[in-house]
Structure 1
Amino acid sequence: MAALAILNEQTKTVTLFAKLFFYGSEAKETIAFKITEEIRTMYHEPKGIVLLYNIPYSINFQIDFEIVSLEQAFGLAYQNTDFRYNFVRIEPQNHVTRSFMGFGLGDNVGHWITSDNLGQSTTAAHEFGHALGLDHPVLTDFRGLGNPGIMSPRGTLVDAHLQWSPLAKAGEYGGTLNPIHRRVQAYEIEAIFEGVVFDDQGHAKIGYLSNILFSENGEVLRFIV
């Protein structure tokens, strides 16, 4: 998810701005609000601090949303150059049976499905992380390490109380991470800003703009001009 980060030297804060344009048959006010609140709440939870120019800055996330029609999404996405603008289609299901973001880490488009229990399962916060350039961690065994990060995949091994079934054997059916237990970690906030360069106005662009839109089933839609 592309974003615009703005640095404030006086308050020693960096605010990350992103706007989600939701479209599709399930793009409705209630679910859009839940998704946005999940992302805001989870990314503020670790009270992230990032060292920039050898100075610690606190990180804020300003995440807004708007529900638009497919036609409006086309109009906004076509030749979009605003790194705050992200386009996410919401449908009951898609051809890969999972929510996904674009075609690479940092893309500003996605196709999310309500069967992933959006806004209540950490899926939205996880996909938001991919869109900010975060990948799945190399470590997939968090036993003895507490709650895994938001970017941990569903097959991650965790302590029994964090599994789908606490009684299941690790790695077997029910014996992997129940994603509701993922948490945004401070090291993940730091990773978002690795390699990010701020200009003279204190602005930095995060991610990239493919501006691709998707069909109901998650296929790429082409612009007709």
Structure 2
Amino acid sequence: MGEAELDIKSRTLIIHSIFVVYGDAASSSVAQQIANDISSHWNEPRASIHYKRERYEVRFDIGAIYSPDLQPEEVWYNDNPRLNFFRVEEYVMGNISFVDGLNCNTGYFKLHNLMQTSTTAAHEYGHTIGLDHPDDLDIRGREMPGIMYPRGTICDPHFQYMPDAAPGQPGGTLDPRHRKVLPSDIEALHLHRLHFSDKGIARVGDFSSIYHHKHEPPPAL
């Protein structure tokens, strides 16, 4: 989720988002990595859009805050569209990072996913601002995988975890480190449809406002 700012003078559309991270595996350094990963990937295309017959450069301004003592009420009653609240832990039920739906501002990061590839946070951010996984998850014969392709996508061998693995078999699916934010991902946001206030401000995404308690692994047998 974020707050879009339309700067008519500089012909720039800036999306401001701040990630507030909490949990036993969260830290200031993890928070900064999340912000850097999202900013790096989403600004890489240097994309632009047409808005009211003018071309605007799209820029993502991403910040992060480590909040070890975050209280549920701070998430439930937050009305600042720039704030996204994510728990970070080593263990996650389902063994994968997730968000609380499309156009949301809350979710749960598995620490290993964040450390494994810089595209994890960027991918989940795409969900918070409205992008879903593509319908076709067999992208063999295409060029670069976009940021919203999930783990398990069938792809050309050089994008797989193991190039020699058979498609769909262990090692034979998309290694997420190859994902990139493409101009088509920016286009899919439909930013030209935003309704800006007189001050040039609009909301991107919506409030899910879910505080996540820590997931506990099942007891050993």
**Alignment correspondent of 1:136:** 133
Distance 1:28 1:192, change over 3 A: same
One-letter code aligned to 1:47 = R
**Alignment correspondent of 2:29:** 30
Give the structure-2-normalised TM-score. 0.91
Note if 1:95 corresponds to 2:93.
yes
Note if 1:123 corresponds to 2:120.
yes
**Alignment correspondent of 2:210:** 212
* d(CA) in 2 for partners of 1:50, 1:73: 38
Note if 1:147 corresponds to 2:144.
yes
Q: Please give the secondary structure, in 2, of the residue aligned with 1:106.
A: coil
Aligned length: 215
Counterparts of 1:95-114 in structure 2 under 5 Å?
95-102=93-100, 104-114=101-111
One-letter code aligned to 1:33 = Q
Segment of structure 1 superposing worse, 104-113 or 185-194: 185-194
Q: Please give the secondary structure, in 2, of the residue aligned with 1:127.
A: helix
* d(CA) in 2 for partners of 1:121, 1:3: 20
* d(CA) in 2 for partners of 1:172, 1:121: 24
Distance 1:145 1:9, change over 3 A: same
The counterpart of 2:169, out of the listed 143, 168, 172, is: 172
The counterpart of 1:82, out of the listed 76, 80, 90, is: 80
Q: Please give the secondary structure, in 2, of the residue aligned with 1:184.
A: coil
Residue 4 of structure 1: CA displacement?
Answer: 0.2
**Alignment correspondent of 1:221:** none
Residue 121 of structure 1: CA displacement?
Answer: 4.0
User: Which consecutive residues of structure 1, in runs of 5 or more, have no partner in the other structure?
Assistant: 219-225
Q: Please give the secondary structure, in 1, of the residue aligned with 2:107.
A: strand
User: Which consecutive residues of structure 2, in runs of 5 or more, have no partner in the other structure?
Assistant: 217-221
CA RMSD of the aligned region, Å?
Answer: 1.6
Residue 75 of structure 1: CA displacement?
Answer: 4.6
Give the structure-1-normalised TM-score. 0.90
User: How high is the sequence identity, in percent, across the aligned residues?
Assistant: 35
Residue 127 of structure 1: CA displacement?
Answer: 0.4
* d(CA) in 1 for partners of 2:152, 2:160: 10
Residue 120 of structure 1: CA displacement?
Answer: 2.8
Q: Please give the secondary structure, in 1, of the residue aligned with 2:29.
A: helix
Distance 1:207 1:178, change over 3 A: same
* d(CA) in 2 for partners of 1:101, 1:26: 17
